Amino acid sequence: MPRTNLFTILLASASLVAASQFSLAAPAGQGKGGGQGKGQERAAKHMHKNMNAKNVLGEKLKRNGKHEVGKIKDRTVTADVDNGKVRNMAAGDLPMKRVKTTMKMASVDGGLIPVAATSGVIPAQFSNVTYYYGYCFDDGYDFVCYWYEPEMVYYSDYYWDDYDPYY
């Protein structure tokens, strides 16, 4: 009798160890896209420009009000700052899209650094994801995004779409 109990306990333990190997999640943002193959077709339509909004705003982030942060063609891009955080952005009559991603999209000089916030395999219950928030404008040719860290925007007040680099 004790031998059968020992065998049952060993079998149960081995199955738990084996199952734990398959219960790990991939880093956030990987495996998305639906497999429709439309990303590469759309990539030729828009040139993405990623701007570090913290550098563009600078000291203006400490003053409430509307501040000019740049130009897209002949339109002035403005940021509405409220208590040290950006509430909204506008660029004339261009449509604005709020997006989020787990990748840091803008470096100090405004170039693109596709560095994932997490790497490797992470257990699903312990993942700690940092989102970066962007206000993006599409003028038909360029897709210009101004990227912020979470503490610089009122991100809980709005819905943010997932950033699609192939748009």
Apex 37 CA angle, 158 and 25, nearest 5: 60
Asked whether the beta carbons of 51 and 146 are under 8 A apart, the reply is yes
CA distance to 42, 98, 128, per residue, from 132 (Å) = 23, 11, 13
What distance in Å separates the CA atoms of residue 38 and residue 26, rounded to the nearest whole number?
23
Instruction: Look up the pTM and report it.
Output: 0.62
User: What pLDDT was estimated at residue 89?
Assistant: 93
The span from the CA of 13 to the CA of 89, in Å, is 55
Walk along the chain (167 residues) in steps of 10 and give the mean pLDDT of each run.
70 66 54 46 67 88 91 91 92 92 67 48 59 90 90 88 83
pLDDT at 130: 85
Tokens of 56: 């563009």
List the alpha helices (DSSP H) in the chain: 2-22, 39-43, 53-57
Q: What confidence score (pLDDT) does residue 107 get?
A: 58
